[in-house]
Amino acid sequence: MDFGPYLMLAIMEGALTAAVLALTASGLALVFGVMRVVNVAHGEFFMLGAVLAWWVSQLAGGSPVWGFLLALCVVPLLVGVLAAAVDMTILKRINYDPERTIVATIGILYILQQVTLMTYGPEARPVAPPFNTRVALPWFEMSNGALQLYWPWGLSITSYKLFVIGAACVVLLGLWALMTQTKLGLLMRATEQDREMAHAFGIPVQRVYAIAFGLGAGMAALAAVLIVPIQQAHYLMGGDPLLLSFIVVIIGGLGSLPGAILAALLIGLSDGIISVFFSPTLAKIFATLLVAFVLVFRPNGLWGTRNS
Amino acid sequence: MSLLSASGISKQYNGLAALSDVSFDVPSGQVRALIGPNGAGKTTLVGVLSGRIPPSSGSVHFAGQDVTTWPAHKRISQGMGYTFQITSIFADLSVRENVALAARRHQKSAAVVDAMVEEALLKTGLWDRVDDIAGTLSYGHQRLLEIAMGLAQTPKLLILDEPTQGLTEGDVEAFKRLIKSLRGEITVLLIEHNMDVVMQLADVITVLEAGRVLFEGIPTDVKANALVRAAYLGGGDAET
Amino acid sequence: MTTDLKKSVILHAGVVLALFVLQFVLPAYHHGNMARIMVLASYAIGYNLLFGYTGLLSLGHALFFAAGLYGAGLAMSQFGLSAGPALVIGVVAGVVIGAVVGGLALRTEGVAFMIVTLMFAQAGYLTILYFGAYTRGDEGFVIAQTERVLFGVDLSAPLVRYFAAFSLFCAAILTCFLAVKSRFGRVLVAIRENEERAAMLGYDVAKYKLGAVVLSAGLSALAGAGYALLFGYVGASFASVQYSIFPLLWVLLGGAGTVLGPLVGTVFMFYLIDLSSGLTTAYMLIAGLVLVVLTVFAPQGVMGEVRRRMWRWLP
């Protein structure tokens, strides 16, 4: 394949990564924004989404479409409720102290991961995609001074991947509408601005926190349900989304949703492109160092979205 | 020879001037009071003097050196003692350790540190509380502990930021006796609301208003000054 | 004061003596375990200096442990150095990396500090994987028994190994005890309690914090280098996030900011995991549960509770 079509392929794969990452990371950013805590177990809620999606699609049996649709509706809800329960039983008790929350969520990370290992087992299991036709993509070349379209061999994407990208956009628009157009969004933003003040104005801060935490985890689970037909479900799969979400949230400016989505696009696209040309380990080394240096030298994110 | 001198200090926050061209000198051995209505810029000025807030312009000299660019800890290690307006002690450590930390910075010998702790606690009347955990002391005693920590630094200049705020009348009397007993030993810069305390203790008073020095003089002059009265009584046409 | 000092000297000397005597009575299996525990507890002591006494929560100490482990291990496997110089190189590597990471990470605080240290450690772990040609990545490499000789003594022999681990532990706990009782250590506690006040007493807080990171990294690297020499295995898992979480877990369990806490926590956790890994492959579940229970119900840890309820003089 020539360089041009190769790059195009990398961009399409990057867009897929970016879409899933934007969903996962906006969950983390939401939790950090509203509650001012870092949820280290975020990647495990993602993993749980994938594993439950496999489970639900097994239960449903029959056509993969029904299993997938059922998983899409039920799994994020289940994970969200579980996360809200974690919030009310554990995080509430330590009063959302930032440092203790990190330690507690590290504990939750291990609990979720190890319980999955004990029940679901160490195997990686695939979920059948509901539809999966190959869509060939065109490329152009200059021949005899004129632009010509052609379909290079190997330059294609599946209809399911396109669906994931589309679905992610729809969900993110939905989240935006939720945050800006609804009363719940208003309550969350008020709590984000000033917890004490929100409490004084009679906002049920505790309930808002539980909802935000559940919503954040639900976003991760939703991303996982979408990706699991492409990537198999495994009990250790939570590590990478956690790391990438961290990178995105930090580069995007802690807690800023638009910043996180912009950063997800940047990281997802560059990840797709970089890992085509470089060793993935080297790419990860650069990514982790980038996070460290952004936090040290640009604590408000690369584009400095102030969010007090 | 002045121990502390500020010249042409200005400080802007987002374009708003908190201090404009403030200059004053505190000679060695003096008890100087800094007064002014709320929002006059006292806290900002003290922050600039102690190094917690960088000035927008102007310079601070202390003990013959230009300390304008020095960080707070360096000024303090050169003999500037500071007590916080909002009590800031080591709440989980003992009273002894609180004061010892202040003394140990400039004293290597454990015996000398112990002696200084005892002296500072005797002066402030906290010696019988020496082994208590600092956070369990009453508010007034915590304020006194702040001052004991200031004394144990054996500073050339002791900056006391609102030391009598929230104290009972008895505590205020004790405080006045303490400062009087220090007269001549160290230089004191006192930021205070309580006019009774200021009038009794200060050699010279600097009055700050709206970020500027309004007046400077001995207590009786300050009392008599029409501008000061106007500033304190709020409004009134002072310019005559 | 002096009687308190006497009490704590007696207590700690007693614990050290008990560990010394233990080698003559323990059965072989626990004998080997205790040697390992003492090396890991030295690592925890290093961690505790920063977390327990200075109040800085690092999530990246595996980087320092691995610096010692790989510093010593690679010096022997790649450059053919003998055990003594390799040990020194391991510690120096930890100190240098500690100074660099500390210098950068200390520009942040709180949660950002935790994430920055985590990221640096992760970058270190990935670097070890990246240079798999020399480090042999996850699989790791073994240091031959014939190489593990210090002062003419074979460190891999059980009795010698126990004694070497014991010496390492003594060095660590003595360093910690002296540091905590010194002016330096008391300033660290002051910083933990009220950083702004410490600065306004004239202490250069940034310098002290960097000193704490470097000392803590040095002790962690000493433990790592000791581990390489005593157990002859160097692998990337020791650089992974898990090995940054472990010292936090041990210290939290044993009691942050107590000299004996790291030992108590390491012993407890080691045997908890040892016992449960006989029952299930999901032994890290125990670690997770303990972390959550500790943060919610007993943030002081075992020795912290002892200090609160019985012995207020406990350093």
CA distance C85 to C90: 9
- Cβ separation of B52 and C200 shorter than 8 Å? yes
pLDDT at A304: 54
- Bridge partners, residue C234, by sequence: C141
Count of C-beta atoms within a 10 Å radius of residue C294:
21
Interface mutation target, options C58, C128, C241, C296, chain A, most CBs of A under 10 Å: C296
pLDDT at A306: 44
pLDDT at C104: 93
Pick the residue from chain C with its C-alpha nearest to A285: C123
pLDDT single digits (tens) B8-26: 888 888 778 888 888 888 8
User: Does C168 lie at the interface with A, CB-CB under 8 angstroms?
Assistant: no
CATH code of the domain occupying B2-188+211-233: 3.40.50.300
pLDDT single digits (tens) C68-104: 999 999 988 888 888 888 999 999 999 999 999 999 9
pLDDT at A255: 67
- Chain B positions in Cβ-Cβ contact with residue C200 (cut-off 8 Å): 50, 52, 72-73, 76, 82, 84, 88
Specify the DSSP element, H or E, that contains C150: strand C149-150
Specify the DSSP element, H or E, that contains B188: strand B187-191
- Reading chain A (308 residues) residue by residue, the pLDDT tens digits are 567 777 777 788 888 888 999 999 999 999 988 888 889 899 999 999 999 999 988 887 777 788 888 888 899 999 999 999 999 999 999 888 887 888 899 899 999 999 999 899 888 888 888 887 777 777 777 777 777 777 776 677 788 888 999 999 999 999 999 988 888 888 888 888 888 888 778 888 888 899 999 999 999 999 999 999 888 889 989 888 888 888 888 887 766 778 888 888 888 887 766 666 677 788 788 888 888 888 888 877 665 544 43
pLDDT at C189: 92
DSSP state of A43: H
- Cβ separation of C123 and A109 shorter than 8 Å? no
User: Which 3 state secondary structure label does DSSP give B159?
Assistant: strand
3-state helix, strand, coil in chain A (%, to 5): 70, 5, 25
- Chain C positions in Cβ-Cβ contact with residue B149 (cut-off 8 Å): 201
Determine contact, residues B127/B144, Cβ cutoff 8 Å. no
What is the pTM for the complete model shown? Answer: 0.84
Determine contact, residues A222/A77, Cβ cutoff 8 Å. no
pLDDT at A302: 62
pLDDT at C56: 92
User: Which 3 state secondary structure label does DSSP give C141?
Assistant: strand
- Chain C positions in Cβ-Cβ contact with residue A295 (cut-off 8 Å): 108, 112, 115-116, 119
User: Which 3 state secondary structure label does DSSP give A144?
Assistant: coil
Determine contact, residues A157/A137, Cβ cutoff 8 Å. yes
CA distance C27 to A182: 67
Question: Please, which chains are in contact with C (at least 3 CB pairs closer than 8 A)?
Answer: A, B
Phi first, then psi: what are they for C280, rounded to 5°? -150, 155
**CA of C196 to nearest chain B CA: how many angstroms apart?**
8
- Find all residues with CB under 8 Å of A237, minimum gap 6, and list them: A46, A47, A50, A231
- Cβ separation of C285 and A114 shorter than 8 Å? yes
Phi first, then psi: what are they for A273, rounded to 5°? -75, -45
Determine contact, residues A129/A229, Cβ cutoff 8 Å. yes
Pick the residue from chain C with its C-alpha nearest to A292: C116
pLDDT at A254: 66
- Bridge partners, residue B190, by sequence: B33, B160
Structural tokens at position C67: 């610096």
User: Which 3 state secondary structure label does DSSP give B109?
Assistant: coil
- Cβ separation of B101 and C201 shorter than 8 Å? yes
Domain boundary assignment for chain B: 2-188+211-233
Interface mutation target, options B76, B86, B90, chain C, most CBs of C under 10 Å: B90
Least CB-CB distance to C202: which of B92, B93, B105? B105
Pick the residue from chain C with its C-alpha nearest to A283: C126
CATH code of the domain occupying A3-131+159-297: 1.10.3470
Q: Tell me the domains of chain C and their CATH numbers.
A: 2-309 (1.10.3470)
pLDDT at C309: 78
**CA of B169 to nearest chain C CA: how many angstroms apart?**
27
Question: Please, which chains are in contact with B (at least 3 CB pairs closer than 8 A)?
Answer: C
CA distance C21 to C15: 10
**CA of C126 to nearest chain A CA: how many angstroms apart?**
6
- Average pLDDT of each block of 10 consecutive residues along chain C (315 residues)? 78 84 80 89 95 91 95 88 89 96 90 89 93 83 76 76 90 91 91 90 92 96 93 89 88 86 89 81 83 84 80 77
Q: So what's the ipTM on this one?
A: 0.82
CA distance B47 to B19: 11
- Cβ separation of B93 and C187 shorter than 8 Å? no
Residue of C154, C296, C168, C153 whose CA lies nearest to C220: C168
pLDDT single digits (tens) C192-220: 998 988 988 889 999 999 999 999 999 99
Residue A275 identity (one-letter amino acid): S
Domain boundary assignment for chain A: 3-131+159-297
pLDDT at B1: 66
CA distance B106 to B108: 7
Pick the residue from chain B with its C-alpha nearest to C199: B73
Determine contact, residues A270/C108, Cβ cutoff 8 Å. no
**B65 CA to centre of own chain:** 20
CA distance C168 to C41: 10
User: Which 3 state secondary structure label does DSSP give B60?
Assistant: strand
Q: Which residues of chain B have pLDDT under 70?
A: 1, 232-240
